[in-house]
Amino acid sequence: MLITASLTNDAEMIALAAVMGVVGHCYPVWLKFKGGKGVATGIGVVVAVNPLSRLAMIGIWLATAALTRISSAAAMGAYAAAPVVVYLHSDEAHQTAFTAAAAAIAMVSIWRHRDNIKRMLAGTEPRIGK
């Protein structure tokens, strides 16, 4: 995404690069499309949009973690809020494309947490500090 941003100011191209970077990290070819660390990459993308996004996302993660004591729930809460955070912290020229990218990244990241969701529903997801 940062390389694309250094080559063009086209918001759609930058947003597409961000989404594809996350998808590529979630489903890496060399791991036969399994595993990967796209969730961490997605956090980096949201933070790269605007440094204020970092503070908002950390705050949302901390608040959700304090309420649920479940790290994966906190991550999904932060991702669910990411489109709003990005919308509020983007300039007008990039707002629509970056918000759409944040929504796509949030959907991919929450999808990647589907096993965690099943464990939460079953009451077996590990809690922070236990």
Q: Under a CB-based contact definition with an 8 Å cutoff, are residues 90 and 67 in contact?
A: no
Domain-located, residue 88: yes
Domain-located, residue 98: yes
Domain-located, residue 128: no
pLDDT of residue 54: 84
How many Cα atoms within 13 Å fall on the side-chain side of residue 44?
13
pLDDT of residue 2: 73
Domain-located, residue 130: no
Q: What confidence tens digit (pLDDT) does each residue in 43-81 have? A: 788 777 777 888 898 899 999 999 999 999 999 999 999
Token duo for residue 55: 């503070």
Domain total for the chain?
1
Residue 111 lies in domain: 2-122
Token duo for residue 32: 């036969």
CB burial readout 64-76, b (16+ within 10 A) else e? bbeebebbbbbbb
Helices (H), ranges, 50-70: 51-68
Q: Other C-beta atoms within 10 Å of 98: how many?
A: 27
pLDDT of residue 52: 82
Domain-located, residue 101: yes
pLDDT of residue 59: 93
pTM of the model: 0.85
Q: What confidence tens digit (pLDDT) does each residue in 2-35 have? A: 788 778 888 899 999 999 999 998 888 888 877 7
